[in-house]
C-alpha cells in the first residue's frame, strides 16, 4: 500500500499514536463485563452459564463487526468511521448504569462489543500512512492498544473498591466520549482517502473487495489469529475466574494476576512488529507457535499425585506447579502470543495491499470469534472434564494444529516454487552419493 509523498513524519506519528490510544480505550470498554460482570452476577443472581454468555456477548459483536467496519473504513476513511464508532459505543456505555435486567445487559453488551471492531478500522487507517517496509512496525505499535485489556483487568477492580459498578461504567463512558472528540479534532484524513477524494475515484464494488476472501491463505491467516488473538482475549476474560476457582484468590488479586498476562503482551506486540519487519513474519510465527505449544503443554498439566512400584515398595510423588510458576508461564505465553498477532498482520498489507480492510477485517473477525467461542468452550470442557487446566488443554490442541498447518503449507509452497527441493534429503552423504551417480 503506497502513501502520499507529502505525508510528514509528524503526521504519521500523530495518526499512529492517537489511533493506538483510541484502540486502547476501545479495548478497555470491550472487556469491561469480565470485571463488572462479577458484581452483576451477585446483584442479579444469574448462573455461571449466564455469566459466560454475558462476558462473551461483546466479543461476538466486536468480532462480527470487523469485516464491515474494515470495508467501510476503506470506502469512507478510517478517521470518520473511527470517530462515529466511539460515539456509538460511548452512548451504549452511558446506557449501562440504567439497566436492571439480564436481557437488557445482553442487548447493551452487543453495543459495547462494537468497540472491539475498532481494530479493523485502525489497521486500515494506520497502514495508509506508512510505506510497506514500515507497516509491520506501525501495526505492531498500534496493536499495543491491547493494553486496554490490562487496564480493565487491573483498574476496574480498584475502582470497584470504592464505587459501585454503575459509577465505573460512567467513568468508562466519559473517557470514551472524550477520546472520540480528541481523535476527531487532532487527526487528519488518511492520504489514500484524501487522494481518492481529490481524484474523484469511485469506490470498488463490494464483490471486488471481498474477492480475496476466496483464497485459502486468508483462512489460514484467520486460524492463526484465532489462536494468538482469540486465545489472548479468551484468557483475559477467563483468567479471573480461573484464578478465583483454582487458587482461591479474591477478585482484586485475580485482576492483578490477569493483568500480569495481558499488560506485557500488549506492550511487547510492538516489538513483534519490529522483528517481523527485520526477520520476516514467517520466522516470528514459527517462534510464536512453537513456544505457545510448550507453554500450553506445561499449563495443561494438572496437579497430579503419582504412586509407582519401586524396588523397595511404592514410591509416591506429586507434580503440583506453584501459582507463581503458572503465572510466569502465562507471562511467556502472552509474550509470544503478542509476537504472533504482530506477525499475522504483517502478512496482510504485504500480500493484499489493496484489500487491507476486507482481509484484515475477516482475519480480525475470526480472531475475535475465538474470543467469543473459547470462553464458552472453556466452561464446557471445565464441566465435562472437571479439571481447571482443561482450558489450556483445548488451546494446546489448537496450537498444535496451527503449527502443523503452517509448516506443511510453507513446505508445499516451497516445493511448488522450487521443484528441485522435492528430491532433497537432510542426509548430506546420501545427497553426495546421488549427485555422484548422476555424473556422466
Domain boundaries, the chain: 9-192+214-419
Cβ-count burial 46-78 (b if 16+ within 10 Å, e if not): beeebbbbbbbbbbbbbbbbbbbbbbbbbbebb
- Give the whole-angstrom CA distance, residue 332 versus residue 338: 10
> pLDDT (tens digit, 9 = 90+) per residue, 332-380?
998 899 888 888 877 777 777 666 667 777 787 888 888 888 888 888 8
Q: Which residues contact 163 (CB under 8 A, 6 or more apart)?
A: none
CA distance linking residue 393 with residue 414, whole number of Å: 32
Q: Are 54 and 363 in contact (CB under 8 A)?
A: no
Asked whether 399 and 297 are in contact (CB, 8 A), the reply is: no
- Positive or negative: CA dihedral 429, 434, 438, 440: positive
Total number of residues shown for the chain: 440
pTM (global) more than 0.75: no
How many Å is the Cα radius of gyration of the chain?
A: 24
pLDDT at residue 283, as a whole number: 87
Q: Domain spanning 9-192+214-419 has what CATH number?
A: 1.20.1250.20
- Kindly report, residue by residue over 210-226, the tens digit of the pLDDT: 666 677 778 888 888 89
Phi, psi dihedrals of residue 306, rounded to the nearest 5° = -115, 145
Query: What was the pLDDT predicted at 183?
Result: 95
Give the separation between CA 286 and CA 290, rounded to whole angstroms.
6
Banded model confidence at residue 418, pLDDT cuts 50, 70, 90: low
Amino acid at each position: 500500500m503506497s502513501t502520499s509523498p507529502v505525508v510528514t513524519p509528524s503526521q504519521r506519528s500523530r495518526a499512529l499514536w492517537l489511533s493506538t490510544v483510541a484502540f486502547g480505550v476501545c479495548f478497555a470498554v470491550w472487556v469491561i463485563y469480565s470485571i463488572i460482570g462479577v458484581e452483576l452476577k451477585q446483584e442479579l443472581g444469574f448462573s455461571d452459564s449466564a455469566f459466560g454468555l454475558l462476558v462473551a456477548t461483546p466479543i461476538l459483536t466486536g468480532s462480527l463487526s470487523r469485516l464491515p467496519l474494515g470495508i467501510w473504513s476503506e470506502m469512507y476513511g478510517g478517521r470518520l468511521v473511527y470517530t462515529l464508532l466511539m460515539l456509538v459505543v460511548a452512548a451504549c456505555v452511558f446506557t449501562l448504569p440504567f439497566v436492571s435486567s439480564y436481557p437488557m445487559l445482553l442487548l447493551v453488551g452487543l453495543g459495547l462489543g462494537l468497540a472491539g471492531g475498532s481494530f479493523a478500522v485502525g489497521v486500515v487507517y494506520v497502514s495508509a500512512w506508512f510505506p510497506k517496509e514500515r507497516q509491520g512496525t506501525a501495526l505492531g505499535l498500534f496493536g499495543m492498544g491491547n493494553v486496554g485489556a490490562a487496564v480493565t483487568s487491573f483498574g476496574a477492580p480498584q475502582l470497584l473498591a470504592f464505587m459501585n459498578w454503575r459509577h465505573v461504567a460512567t467513568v468508562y463512558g466519559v473517557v470514551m466520549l472524550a477520546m472520540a472528540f480528541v481523535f476527531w479534532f487532532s487527526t487528519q484524513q488518511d492520504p489514500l482517502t484524501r487522494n481518492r477524494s481529490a481524484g474523484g475515484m469511485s469506490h470498488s464494488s463490494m464483490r471486488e473487495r471481498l474477492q480475496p476472501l476466496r483464497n485459502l491463505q486468508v483462512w489460514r491467516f484467520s486460524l492463526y489469529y484465532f489462536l494468538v488473538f482469540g486465545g489472548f482475549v479468551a484468557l483475559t476474560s477467563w483468567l479471573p475466574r480461573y484464578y478465583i476457582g483454582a487458587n482461591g484468590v479474591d477478585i482484586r488479586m485475580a485482576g492483578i494476576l490477569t493483568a500480569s498476562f495481558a499488560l506485557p503482551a500488549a506492550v511487547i506486540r510492538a516489538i513483534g512488529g519490529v522483528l517481523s519487519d527485520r526477520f520476516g513474519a514467517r520466522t516470528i510465527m514459527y517462534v510464536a507457535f512453537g513456544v505457545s505449544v510448550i507453554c500450553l503443554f506445561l499449563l495443561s498439566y494438572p496437579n497430579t499425585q503419582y504412586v509407582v512400584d519401586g524396588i523397595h515398595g511404592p514410591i509416591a510423588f506429586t507434580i503440583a506447579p506453584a501459582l507463581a510458576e503458572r503465572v510466569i508461564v502465562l507471562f511467556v505465553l502472552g509474550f509470544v502470543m503478542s509476537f504472533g498477532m504482530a506477525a499475522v498482520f504483517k502478512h496482510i498489507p504485504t500480500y493484499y495491499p489493496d484489500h487491507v480492510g476486507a482481509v484484515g477485517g475477516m482475519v480480525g473477525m475470526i480472531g475475535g470469534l475465538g474470543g467469543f467461542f473459547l470462553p464458552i468452550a472453556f466452561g464446557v470442557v471445565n464441566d465435562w472434564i472437571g479439571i481447571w487446566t482443561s482450558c489450556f488443554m483445548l488451546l494446546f490442541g489448537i496450537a498444535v494444529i496451527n503449527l502443523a498447518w503452517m509448516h506443511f503449507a510453507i513446505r508445499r509452497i516451497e516445493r511448488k516454487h522450487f521443484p528441485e527441493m522435492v528430491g532433497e534429503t537432510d542426509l548430506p552423504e546420501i545427497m553426495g552419493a546421488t549427485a555422484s551417480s548422476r555424473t556422466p
